[in-house]
Amino acid sequence: MGTDYKTLRVIPVSPALGAEISGVDIAAGIDDEQFAELQQAFIDYSVIFLRDQEITPDQHVEFAHRWGEININRFFQAAESHPMIAEVRKEAHQKANIGSSWHTDHSYDQIPAMGSILYAREVPQVGGDTLFASMYAAYDALSDGMKAMLSQMNAVHSSRHAFGEAAYAGVDMNDLGGRLGNTGAATQDAVHPVVIRHPLSGRPALYVNGDFTVRFDGWTREESQPLLDFLYAHACQNEFTCRLHWRKGSMAIWDNRATHHCALNDYHGERRLMHRITLEGVPLQAAA
């Protein structure tokens, strides 16, 4: 990406996005120079992966505070004694996982989250990988005509259909096992540009996602759905993606404004426990 890193070893994991970072020990402490390079890698690659981090929940929270203010999740079960940490958990007997469809977190908020810091505490022997897709690459690959149209459009996002009472109709609540809830808090609605100017990189990025985007502003749902379906399929093409294989002690830090992600549900019969801290963002502006 052109950055000359002095305190980190940065290895890209795909042409579109993602890099593995070595030379970082969160528990031992990160000085200001190295943290600044870590932030630059985050901007350059949209998602960065750290391996073999042995940290406590307190150290996870302290590290997150260096990135910005923490957003306490409304709908996930919190880690015991650490309300700032959300559990992303699937027990061995449970069938459904969390985050199995392509999405970006918190787009339903008026000020969407900047990103997340996800830490692996228990992982299956095989499976449970996370896929990420670049919304820079997705935008760049659109035709000039599509870019011109989308640049003038906004989209409506909501938490109601995803986390409200209707979201759990017909769902086996025993299988959820207390992992998701608080349906009464699912009252968020927001309107954001379909193409945003990324607040850190300045690059244009596609900003609609299948979990939380409801329709285009000023359009009906019926009018919106065909174009939204095209954009969702377009955004997650293989050449725009990278894949993280988790090990215990792995950490991913991703930018919600520049990526989509999904968690594979291919480890039935094994437990997977991740700790996630979400970081507050800034208002989004249109690229046009």
Residue 100 has what pLDDT?
Answer: 84
Q: What is the mean pLDDT of residues 189-213?
A: 96
- Least confidently predicted of 105-114, 221-230, 240-249: 105-114
- Is residue 41 assigned to a domain? yes
Measure the CA–CA gap between 69 and 47, rounded to whole angstroms: 19
- Is residue 196 assigned to a domain? yes
- Is residue 2 assigned to a domain? no
Q: What is the mean pLDDT of residues 109-127?
A: 95
- Is residue 91 assigned to a domain? yes
Residue 171 has what pLDDT?
Answer: 59
pLDDT higher than threshold 80 for residue 165: no
Complete edge-to-edge strand list for the sheet that includes strand 241-244: 241-244, 130-134, 259-263
Please say whether the beta carbons of 224 and 208 come within 8 A.
no
C-alpha distance from residue 131 to each of 46, 51, 96, 246 (Å): 13, 17, 17, 11
Q: What is the mean pLDDT of residues 225-232?
A: 98
pLDDT higher than threshold 60 for residue 173: no
Residue 130 has what pLDDT?
Answer: 98
- Is residue 233 assigned to a domain? yes
Please say whether the beta carbons of 47 and 253 come within 8 A.
yes
Residue 66 has what pLDDT?
Answer: 97
Q: What percent of the chain has pLDDT over 90?
A: 76
Beta bridge partners of 212: none
- Is residue 106 assigned to a domain? yes
Residue 158 has what pLDDT?
Answer: 87
At 148, the pLDDT band (50, 70, 90 cuts) reads very high
Residue 187 has what pLDDT?
Answer: 64
Q: What is the mean pLDDT of residues 89-118?
A: 90
Residues with catalytic roles: 103, 105, 261, 276
At 188, the pLDDT band (50, 70, 90 cuts) reads confident
- Is residue 1 assigned to a domain? no
- Least confidently predicted of 83-92, 173-182, 203-212: 173-182
Measure the CA–CA gap between 195 and 206, rounded to whole angstroms: 5
Query: For 164, what's the count of Cα atoms within 13 Å in the CB-facing half-sphere?
Result: 12
**Residue 107 belongs to domain spanning:** 9-286
- Is residue 3 assigned to a domain? no
CATH number of the structural domain spanning residue 23: 3.60.130.10
Structural domain total, the chain:
1
At 142, the pLDDT band (50, 70, 90 cuts) reads very high
- pTM of the predicted model as reported, rounded to 2 decimal places: 0.92
Q: Residue 1 burial (CB < 10 Å; 0-12/13-18/19+)?
A: exposed
